[in-house]
């Protein structure tokens, strides 16, 4: 294996780490609420802007401000659920799709109005530190992303299997009526799920900011990539998300390395179009 | 046949209207309204089967690029428009074949993915398409004669409306309604669901192709940002939903109102006027999901039922 190949592999893994965190949230909300949230990426980038301004105005380190951003993501998700989505739970899928699309447009327009469409990035002392892996380099941040992504998966797994809230989330996702019959407050579960879904995304947003930049439109791309992942993984299949993210992250990285960066953005479209899972689903 | 009479009335009204307009600004506004009305209506025709497409801008772009590339080879713009419509219908047919079994949100995702893919492909194949810089045409449509351009836009809009009205009177309309409401029932009573959806998808994609071709000749310029503007997909969605989905006059009404509103907003706030579309989508879905026409119907029914109450007393 030459260094170039290994470097591409490492970059792909790091991207996958971020995608996992974005897509897990989306898979969770689709699986439990049954609503495909087109505003997922926009909501999480909204919280990332907070991180940016904390850093810009008060010099707060982005990693430290995770303590604020992630709960903010939860609250934002809860507000959106309580204010909007709660009213369309029984509405036709078309209405739900259009509604979340509307939220996405409102959010990205708001971000454009508040903070302009300028490219925003942060610079911290640890961004430049990189570790040598013999024939390839890995940034300290990239290594951190891999560890964080792994921990997030593990924590989510523990949350869903060990805690009461997590168990009730799974129960509701399997059968809302049955869950309600045994005394689970379905509405509360929906609220928590949606909050957790955006909170997970907020993690990803901060790391996205640290290794790249944000604009009001980054959210749309993240939503699309997360769609791609959950389609490959299968609707609401959380464990499949990990493999699907690796597939997307690695293939993007290889296309970027061998065919140039322009085509890399087409990878997720190609994966969606040719995903066998997409064909399996009928009715929506 | 009331609809046909109204169409003829509209046609006569709009044909003589330019004679009373002092400035070409209003003509330009009307042209854009016609185009958007046609786009929104053709999008709605597919939505009547319960399939939401997020790729309307992709068909617009395909029509635009096909006609421009033909124009550069010396083909007449009018022929280019027909070719653009044909190419976009072919693309829709192929996409429809690939997504035959997809419904609801999966179909929506697939169309969104398709639109993104086409956009990137056009950007990347810059040897043929001019890449991000785009292509400037040497002459606008009809040599810049805005009255001729106006008439053609009106014609396109009327053809779309007529198609929609004819569809509403055809057997296909009932098939589409049943598919949207319950696919299993549709299959049971012998409707070929995939064939119907494929046919409607192909048919409804002719219009964005023709309009895309028209628009790039009208402004005599094309680049991927104009041709594959997601704002188009957003606007047609908002117009259809706002006016009333599943009707002929709903999307047309929605297009007229929202275009005028957007035009006003563009003057007052430069950035983020798209927010209006978003707010309208949210408000309409939450407050009156059947759109303006549905709201009107509800009001009318309430008024007439209260009248009935009075006569009974």
**Per the CB < 8 Å rule, is A101 touching B281?**
yes
- The predicted-structure confidence for B27-52, as pLDDT tens digits, reads as follows 888 899 999 999 999 999 998 888 88
CB interface of A with B, residues 198-227, below 8 Å? 220, 224, 227
Domain that includes residue A213, residue range: 3-280
| Predicted local distance difference test score (pLDDT) of residue A259 | 83
> In A, which residues are within 8 Å of B280 by CB distance?
102
Chosen from B234, B285, B290 to mutate, greatest number of chain A CBs within 10 A: B285
State the Cα–Cα distance between residues B303 and B310, nearest whole angstrom: 11
Instruction: Examine residue B52 and state whether it is found in any structural domain, yes or no.
Output: yes
The total of other beta-carbon atoms located within 10 Å of residue B286's CB is: 16
- Tell me whether B132 touches chain A (CB under 8 Å): no
Instruction: Examine residue B9 and state whether it is found in any structural domain, yes or no.
Output: yes
Give the CATH number of the domain where residue A152 resides: 1.10.3470
State the Cα–Cα distance between residues A163 and A31, nearest whole angstrom: 18
Least confident span in A36-45, A120-129, B30-39, B184-193: A120-129
Give the one of B117, B277, B289 whose C-beta lies nearest to A266's C-beta: B117
Residue among B250, B228, B253 at smallest CA distance from B124? B228
Contact A238, B116 (CB under 8 A): no
Average pLDDT over residues B176-182: 86
Phi-psi region of A230 (alpha: psi -120 to 50; beta: other; left: phi over 0): alpha
Q: What is the domain count for chain A?
A: 1
Instruction: Examine residue B76 and state whether it is found in any structural domain, yes or no.
Output: yes
Average pLDDT over residues B244-267: 86
By residue count, chain B amounts to 313
CA nearest to B287 within chain A? A87
Look up residue A86 and give its DSSP letter.
G
Domain that includes residue B185, residue range: 2-229
The total of other beta-carbon atoms located within 10 Å of residue A83's CB is: 12
Instruction: Examine residue B148 and state whether it is found in any structural domain, yes or no.
Output: yes
Q: Does residue A283 register a pLDDT over 50?
A: no
Per-residue pLDDT band at A132 (split at 50, 70, 90):
confident
> Complex ipTM, two decimals?
0.81
A187 CA: distance to closest CA in chain B (Å): 18
| Predicted local distance difference test score (pLDDT) of residue A282 | 41
Instruction: Examine residue B247 and state whether it is found in any structural domain, yes or no.
Output: no
| Predicted local distance difference test score (pLDDT) of residue B270 | 67
- The predicted-structure confidence for A35-55, as pLDDT tens digits, reads as follows 888 899 999 999 999 999 989
Instruction: Examine residue B249 and state whether it is found in any structural domain, yes or no.
Output: no
B242 CA: distance to closest CA in chain A (Å): 11
State the Cα–Cα distance between residues B142 and B266, nearest whole angstrom: 28
- Tell me whether B94 touches chain A (CB under 8 Å): no
Contact A253, B72 (CB under 8 A): no
Per-residue pLDDT band at A11 (split at 50, 70, 90):
confident
Between A65 and B127, the higher pLDDT residue: A65
């Amino acid at each position: 294996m030459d260094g170039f190949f290994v470097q591409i592999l490492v970059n792909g893994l790091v991207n996958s780490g971020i995608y996992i965190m974005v897509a897990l949230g989306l898979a969770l909300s689709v699986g439990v609420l049954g609503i495909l949230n087109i505003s997922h990426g926009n909501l999480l980038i909204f919280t990332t802007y907070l991180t940016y301004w904390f850093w810009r105005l008060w010099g707060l380190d982005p990693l430290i401000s995770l303590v604020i951003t992630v709960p903010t993501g939860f609250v934002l998700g809860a507000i959106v659920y309580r204010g909007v989505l709660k009213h369309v739970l029984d509405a036709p899928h078309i209405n739900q799709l259009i509604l979340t699309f509307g939220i996405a447009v409102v959010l990205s327009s708001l971000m454009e109005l508040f903070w302009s469409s300028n490219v925003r990035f942060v610079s911290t002392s640890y961004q430049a530190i990189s570790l040598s892996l013999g024939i390839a380099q890995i940034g300290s941040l990239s290594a951190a992303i891999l560890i964080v992504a792994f921990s997030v998966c593990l924590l989510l797994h523990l949350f869903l299997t060990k805690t009461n809230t997590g168990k009730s989330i799974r129960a509701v996702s399997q059968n809302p009526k049955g869950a309600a019959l045994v005394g689970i407050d379905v509405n509360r579960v929906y609220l928590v799920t949606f909050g957790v879904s955006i909170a997970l995304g907020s993690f990803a947003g901060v790391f996205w900011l640290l290794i790249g930049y944000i604009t009001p439109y980054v959210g749309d791309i993240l939503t699309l990539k997360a769609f791609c992942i959950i389609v490959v993984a299968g609707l609401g299949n959380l464990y499949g998300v990990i493999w699907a993210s690796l597939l997307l992250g690695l293939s993007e990285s290889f296309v970027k390395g061998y065919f140039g960066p322009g085509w890399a953005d087409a990878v997720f479209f190609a994966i969606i179009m040719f995903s066998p899972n997409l064909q399996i689903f009928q009715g929506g | 046949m009331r609809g046909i009479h109204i169409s003829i009335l509209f046609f006569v009204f709009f044909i003589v209207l330019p004679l009373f307009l002092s400035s070409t600004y209003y003509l330009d506004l009307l042209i854009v309204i016609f185009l958007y009305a046609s786009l929104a209506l053709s999008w709605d025709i597919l939505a009547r089967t319960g399939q939401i497409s997020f790729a309307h801008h992709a068909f617009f772009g395909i029509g635009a690029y096909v006609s421009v590339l033909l124009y550069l080879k010396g083909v007449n713009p009018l022929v280019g428009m027909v070719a653009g419509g044909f190419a976009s219908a072919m693309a829709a047919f192929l996409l429809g074949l690939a997504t035959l079994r997809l419904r609801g949100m999966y179909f929506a995702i697939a169309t969104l993915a398709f639109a993104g893919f086409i956009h990137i492909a056009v950007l990347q194949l810059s040897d043929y398409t001019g890449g991000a810089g785009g292509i400037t045409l040497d002459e606008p449509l009809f040599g810049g004669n805005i009255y001729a351009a106006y008439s053609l836009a009106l014609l396109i809009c009327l053809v779309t409306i007529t198609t929609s009205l004819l569809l509403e009177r055809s057997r296909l309309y009932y098939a589409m309604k049943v598919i949207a409401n319950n696919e299993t029932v549709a299959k049971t009573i012998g409707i070929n669901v995939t064939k119907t959806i494929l046919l409607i998808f192909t048919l409804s994609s002719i219009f964005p192709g023709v309009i895309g071709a028209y628009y790039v000749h009208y402004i005599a310029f094309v680049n991927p940002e104009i041709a594959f503007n997601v704002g188009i997909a957003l606007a047609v969605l908002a117009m259809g939903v706002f006016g009333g989905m599943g009707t002929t006059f709903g999307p047309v009404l929605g297009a007229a109102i929202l275009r005028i509103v957007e035009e006003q907003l563009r003057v007052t706030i430069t950035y983020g006027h798209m927010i209006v579309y978003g707010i309208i989508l949210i408000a309409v879905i939450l407050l009156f999901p059947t759109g303006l026409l549905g709201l009107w119907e509800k009001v009318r029914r309430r008024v007439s039922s209260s009248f009935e109450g009075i006569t009974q007393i």
